[in-house]
Amino acid sequence: PSIQEMYNAFDFESVAKTVLRPEAWAYYSSGSDDEISMRENHNAFHRIWLKPRVMVDVKNIDLTTHMLGTQTALPLYLTGTALGKLGHPEGELVLTRSAAETNVIQMIPTLASCSFDEIVDAALETQTQWLQLYVNSDREITNAFVNHAEKRGIKGLFITVDAPQLGRREKDMRVKYSDDAPEEMEQKDVSRNEGAARYISTFIDPSLNWNDLSWFKSITKVPIILKGVQTSADAVQAFRHGCQGVVLSNHGGRQLDFAPSGIEILPEVIDALHKEKGFNGENFEVYVDGGIRRGSDIFKALALGASGVGIGRPALFAMSTYGQAGVTRLIQLLQEELAMNMRLMGAKSIKDIKADMVDTRNLKDH
Ligand code: FNR
């Protein structure tokens, strides 16, 4: 189908399934174990209903907002996802260019197919990029990487904390890579039969813990955000340890199956933070990723207190099917959906999106 026939985020996924190589589809689409958390991520949004306000002048709608101090076109960023070249020969650079076109932030993954410098070089001077960090067992490697990233102007360090061991993604494991392994999987000493994910992730340090945060703060001035927080207790810990934020995320349902979706725990996280001394709603940002597929999903997350949301698979699928134009269209579709939602909800700007605009009574009813 032509790109004009892509009307929403799901459309790109349907096309991607038919055009991606089997190993790429397996790696991008899989979740862990029974994929319950993966499905739950989007389904949880179906349990939140909207309480629209009418008779508000919504002629002019403003979707712009700030995330970690950067102004963006809408409260949405491209989250870090590994192995971009499985889906497109130019990999993450495609995402960089679309992010520039649409004025959204891109998070660069540690396990990008392109080198970190290539991805930074592809960005405009004015463009903001964050770094998703997998912490290496060899801290000197991590130290050097973080220092380099800071010099190159990275504006947020998102330390992934939900992956001391990679989840079992069985679809991915079933694909045998022995014959035509993607280029980025060369020279690693793990059996390719473990699937792409495990193959590339053996360096990740499972000993990472709260005491390490003071070290991170000693090596960088870049804001530190923990990506993959899944309880209010840990969000509070992150705040107490001087982090600038958290991403409520179960890694797109690819790590612990039966971990809750980020959106489901968002209200309790915000409640818990408000009880913390020193928290003022502005000195610590809460993000959500997982299952964001509609403008209304973004609206709901903002209403419940998120500063923004990340999208993973939709961008990969758009990139794999229609390249830069696809990712740009995806972001524009979500932007239009969010604008329409705001109009119909009676919210003129992002700060008008409030908790009393959503009904979460059924959020906990699975
Ligand atoms: C990811 N994700 C991820 N997270 C991370 O911290 N480091 C990584 O290397 C990756 N790699 C990765 C690859 C692929 C193919 C996917 C789908 C996801 C998780 C990602 O950042 C994010 O949490 C989820 O993708 C969000 O869910 P959706 O938007 O994919 O539903």
List all residues 6 or more positions away from 36 whose beta carbon is below 8 Å from its beta carbon: 253, 257, 258
Beta bridge partners of 160: 227
Query: ipTM more than 0.90?
Result: yes
Distance 263 CA to ligand 1 centre (A): 16
Per-residue pLDDT at 202? 86
pLDDT in tens, 137-184: 999 999 999 999 999 999 999 999 999 999 999 988 888 665 555 555
CA of 101 to the centre of ligand 1 (A): 22
Amino acid 201: pLDDT: 82
Alpha-carbon dihedral sign for residues 287, 95, 133, 220 = negative
Q: What pLDDT is attached to residue 189?
A: 45
Q: Which residues in the chain land under pLDDT 50?
A: 186-190
Regarding pTM above 0.80, the answer is: yes
* pLDDT score recorded for residue 190: 47
Alpha-carbon distance of 239 to 222, in angstroms, equals 16
Closest CA to 75 of 104, 110, 52, 46: 104
Which atom of ligand 1 lies nearest, measured to the CA of 250?
23
Q: Which residues sit with their C-beta closer than 6 Å to ligand 1? A: 27-28, 41, 79-82, 109, 111, 132, 160, 227, 249, 251-252, 254, 289-292, 311-313, 316
Catalytic residue (one of 134, 177, 287, 322): 134
Contact in structure between 169 and 195 (CB atoms under 8 Å)? yes
**Most informative mutation of 81, 106, 246 for ligand 1 (most atoms within 8 A of CB):** 81
